Amino acid sequence: MKLTNKNNSFIRIILIIILSVLSVNTYSQVQEYAVKAALLEKFTLFIEWPKESGIDNKSQPFIISVIGDNPFGKVLDNTYKNQKIKGKEVQINYISEIHEIEASHILFISSSEKNELLNIISYTKDKPILTIGDTKGYYDKGVILNLFKRKNKINFILNKESAKNSNLYISYLLNNLSEVINKKGGEE
């Protein structure tokens, strides 16, 4: 699909309009995942992958995998169609099997994978893969970043131990921000 930027934005606007017209609930869900999709890129600002992961090789794409049911719809694809992460093209894989996780930089674990979570975590825990979830309880199971919504605002919490084990470098700033949030309210 080869569309111009203008057309793309136009379509996006049309789409948003349509979605919002269809259902407020749907609209708000779409809105929420659009923010979450954007957040993924922001997190990468504060996180560094080890060199072994081939992060510096610009010819290789930055891989974001979504395991389980896709809550983003087309938002992820749309968001990263023209946006690079760490100077790399972004490739988004929608997977269902654990072995497909390999080579991913970010793994979004859908709430549908509640039961498989421990297997997934045990697979990723020694690998430089940033695991992100938005399901309550994922933080305790060892997901590195868990997103939650408070006062219509997406917040996040960082599992430092998991982060440490993953061999990823998490910036103190993100750490700090997470801690602040943590101190104030913790996971809701």
Partner 1 sequence: MKFLNNYSIQKKLIVIILMVASITIIGGFTISSILNISDLFKELKNKSILQASMVGDYCAPTLIFDDKRSANEILSKLENNPEILYSLVLNDSGMKFAEYGSAEDNYLHPNLYDSINFAEYHNSYLHIRQPIIYQDITYGTIYVLVSVDLLVQKIKDHLLTMLIILIISLVLAYLLAINLQKSISDPILKITSIAENISVKEDYSIRIKDISNDEIGVLSTRFNEMLHKIEERQNERDKAENALRYSEKQLKESIEHEKNNSYELMLTNKKLEEAQYESQKMLHDLKLEIKKRIKAEKRLSDHKLKLEETVSERTKSLESETKKLKVAQNVMLDLINEKEESRLHIEQANKSLLEVNKELEAFSYSVSHDLRAPVRAIEGFTIKLLKEIGKSTTDEEKRLVSIITANTSKMGKLIDDLLEFSRMNRGELNKLNVDMKTIVTEICNNIKEENQDYNLEFVIDELPVANCDSRLIKQVWINLISNSAKFSKNKSLQKIHIGSDNIEGKTTFFVKDNGAGFNMEYSNKLFQVFQRLHTDAEFEGTGIGLAIVDRVIKRHGGRIWCSSKENIETIFYFTLT
Q: How many residues bind partner 1 (CB under 8 A)?
A: 14
15 binds partner 1 (CB under 8 A): no
One character per residue 88-127, x = contact with partner 1 (rule: CB under 8 A): ----------------------------------------
Find the radius of gyration of the CA atoms of the chain: 16
**CB proximity list for 51: less than 8 A, separation 6 or greater:** none
10 Å Cβ neighbour count for 174? 18
21 binds partner 1 (CB under 8 A): no
**CB proximity list for 146: less than 8 A, separation 6 or greater:** 132, 133, 134, 135, 138, 139, 156, 157, 159, 187
Please select the residue that binds partner 1; options are 42, 149, 160, 164, rule is CB under 8 A. 42
Binding site for partner 1 (CB under 8 A): 39, 42, 45-46, 153, 155, 171, 173-174, 176-177, 180-181, 184
